[in-house]
Amino acid sequence: MKIASRVGAVPPYLFVQISRKIAEKKAQGIEVISFGIGDPDIPTPGHILDGLQAASLDAPNHRYPESEGLPEFRQAVASWYDRRFGVNLDPESEVISLIGAKEGIGHASFAFIEPGDIALTPDPGYPVYSVGALFAGGESHIMPLSEENGWLADLDAIPEDAARRATVLWLNYPNNPTAATADLDYFERAVAFAKRYDVAVMHDACYTEVAYDGYRPHSFLEVEGAKDVAIEFHSLSKTYNMTGWRIGMAVGNADLVDKLLTVKSNLDSGVPQAVQRMGIAAFDAPLDSVDERNAAYQRRRDIVVNVLRSMGLTVETPKASLYVWARVPEGYSSAQFSERILEERDIFITPGTGYGEHGEGYVRLSLTVPDDQLDKAADRLAAWRAEP
């Protein structure tokens, strides 16, 4: 049987490999503590589950949903964006639901990239940006992110020919995997770049509601002119501990949103309506659960940062996101360090090269580790020494 060449060109998804390595250890009866996937361990708040339970009994919710989402859900998204960011959205034309942000990010390439087109893609970065371009027949021009530039894509360093062939520019702040944040001045420069080269900005904003020490991340759409060029992807997954329910949204430029909807309506059947009702319950409730969750993550962040520093890693304390990004001790590659920690401490830490070649020399740790396991991991790591 023939297999499409595009499938063979895709490297194995990082976390599939991670799961296999951990499974091998577990098969030997070894308890492995994983700092790998950013999947919240804290349950979905009760008031949101109540919304699902009530909606599940409503017969219309047992039928196919519309791809764009319930009008009430889209209105709830628009109202939340107004309260949270001061961004005005038309729920009819500038908001659609997603089956989680990953789905929308993946489908976006089919809407905006053709063979011969370029996607400007950050490295290190979320692998779906470049894989989506590959599936759509385009190619990625890598924008190296570095510690020296604060993990911000250097738009001035993009070659003229790549900029002119580009149809999309991927940005992601707060950033996965580096936990970097961007200010409005940077977003303004990105808008100017997009207008100069007629490029659509795709901003992945899924971590804006995971933040610490009073920091409040921005939406790309806050800056003047952003809606002329941009679509922003967001999700309830990290904000309300709802990764398993698969619900998110794409918002912004009406034409971009409409073209993404065209792809979605032909390839998926939308978010179950009962799950959208959950989303409405989440948006309409006070932020107490979000604040409590962030306080828990901040305590974990401080534990992880302190123990990594004691091990000889260089770490900047993150202001946002679910992740701690750390430079490994001298003498190690990312993979070597990760493998040694797995072998000697039965702890999995993600090598930075899982997010691109420019992640070499770094590792990522997720803060979605239950407190009892985190304490155990800290004890295991505390006595580790960096000598190869």
pLDDT 10s digits, 245-285: 999 999 999 999 999 999 999 999 999 999 999 999 999 98
Query: Distance between CA atoms of 81 and 96, rounded to whole angstroms?
Result: 13
From the CB of residue 77, how many other CB atoms can be counted at a distance below 10 Å?
A: 26
Query: Distance between CA atoms of 149 and 189, rounded to whole angstroms?
Result: 15
Walk me through the domains of the chain, giving residue ranges and CATH numbers.
5-43+288-382 (3.90.1150.10), 46-284 (3.40.640.10)
Mean pLDDT of 189-212: 98
pTM across the whole model: 0.96
Would you say 203 and 220 are in contact if contact means Cβ atoms under 8 Å apart? yes
Quick one: pLDDT at residue 387? Answer: 59
Q: At what angle do helices 371-382 and 288-310 cross, to 10 degrees?
A: 10
Mean pLDDT of 299-313: 97
pLDDT band at 341; cut points 50, 70, 90? very high
Amino acid type, 121: T
DSSP state of 282: H
Quick one: pLDDT at residue 5? Answer: 87
Question: DSSP 3-state assignment of 287?
Answer: coil
Beta bridge partners of 119: 140, 168
Q: Tokens 């939406």 belong to which residue?
A: 219
In the 3-class helix/strand/coil scheme, how is 177-200 assigned residue by residue? CCCCCCCHHHHHHHHHHHHHHCCE
Say if residue 196's pLDDT is above 70.
yes
Planar angle of CA 90, 260, 5, nearest 5 degrees: 165
Of 277 and 385, the one with more pLDDT: 277
pLDDT 10s digits, 352-381: 999 999 999 999 999 999 999 999 999 999
Would you say 347 and 308 are in contact if contact means Cβ atoms under 8 Å apart? no
